[in-house]
C-alpha cells in the first residue's frame, strides 16, 4: 500500500496525459452524446423503432454501434446500416476545437477519484500501527503458554518413550 500511495501522483499524471491525448475523441464522444435519436429523422426509424432502441439503452448517436444495434430484435442489417450511417454522417459534421482542451469535468472526476483512493490508503496505513500492536499483544499472550506447552511436550515424549519400553 505504501508503494501504491507513493505512486499515486505518477498514476494521476499518466491519467491526465491520457485525457490530453484523447481530447479529440472525448469531444467527439460528447458531441455524439448530445445527438438524440428522437430528435433526428432517420430513414426507416420511426417512433416505434425509436422506442425499441430506447428500451435497449440506445438513445444517442454515441450509443450506436453495429454490434449494439444488430442484436436488437427487429433491427436487421438494413436498419442497423441506416443507424450506423447516420452516426457516421454526424461524425463527419463534428468539428474539433483544440482551444477547448480537456473537459474540466473530466479533470475534476479524475482528481476526485485519486483523492478518494489516497484517503482510502491513508486510512489503511494509519490503522497499521494499531494492528501491529494487536498482533504483538496476541503474540505476547501466546508466549505465556509456551513454557507450559514445552513442559507438556517433554512429558508426552517421556510418556511415549516409557510406553515403548513396555511393548
Residue with grid cell 479529440, as numbered in its chain: 24
Collapsed DSSP state (helix, strand, coil) of residue 98 = helix
pLDDT at position 166 is 85
CA neighbor of 90 nearest in space, from 60, 52, 66, 55: 60
As a residue count, the chain comes to 167
- Name, in order, each residue with C-beta under 8 angstroms of 59's C-beta and a sequence gap of 6 or more: 36, 37, 38, 53
pLDDT tens digits in sequence order for the chain, 167 residues long: 889 999 999 999 999 999 999 999 999 999 999 999 999 999 999 999 999 999 999 999 999 999 999 999 999 999 999 999 999 999 999 999 989 889 899 999 999 999 999 999 999 999 989 999 999 999 988 888 888 999 999 999 999 998 898 87
What pTM did the predictor assign? Answer: 0.62
**Tens-place pLDDT, residues 62-110:** 999 999 999 999 999 999 999 999 999 999 999 999 898 898 999 999 9
Question: Residue 4, class by beta-carbon neighbours within 10 Å (0-12 exposed, 13-18 middle, 19+ buried)?
Answer: middle
Which cell numbers hold the place of 140?
505476547
Instruction: Specify the DSSP class assigned to residue 74.
Output: T
pLDDT at position 50 is 96
Q: How many CB atoms lie within 10 A of CB 106?
A: 16
Rounded Cα gap, residues 138 and 149, in angstroms: 16
pLDDT at position 10 is 96
* Cα angle for residues 134, 119, 123 (degrees, 5° grid): 5
Amino acid at each position: 500500500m505504501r508503494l501504491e500511495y507513493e505512486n499515486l501522483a505518477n498514476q494521476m499524471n499518466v491519467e491526465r496525459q491520457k485525457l490530453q491525448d484523447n481530447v479529440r475523441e472525448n469531444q467527439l464522444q460528447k458531441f455524439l452524446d448530445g445527438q438524440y435519436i428522437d430528435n433526428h429523422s432517420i430513414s426507416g426509424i420511426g417512433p416505434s423503432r425509436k422506442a425499441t432502441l430506447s428500451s435497449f439503452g440506445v438513445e444517442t448517436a454515441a450509443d450506436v454501434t453495429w454490434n449494439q444495434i444488430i442484436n436488437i430484435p427487429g433491427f436487421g442489417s438494413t436498419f442497423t446500416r441506416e443507424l450506423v450511417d447516420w452516426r457516421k454522417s454526424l461524425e463527419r459534421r463534428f468539428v474539433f476545437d483544440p482551444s477547448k482542451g480537456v473537459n474540466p469535468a473530466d479533470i475534476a472526476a479524475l482528481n476526485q477519484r485519486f483523492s478518494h483512493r489516497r484517503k482510502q490508503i491513508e486510512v489503511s496505513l494509519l490503522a497499521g500501527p494499531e494492528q501491529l500492536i494487536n498482533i504483538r499483544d496476541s503474540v505476547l499472550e501466546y508466549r505465556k503458554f509456551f513454557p507450559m506447552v514445552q513442559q507438556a511436550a517433554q512429558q508426552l515424549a517421556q510418556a511415549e518413550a516409557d510406553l515403548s519400553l513396555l511393548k
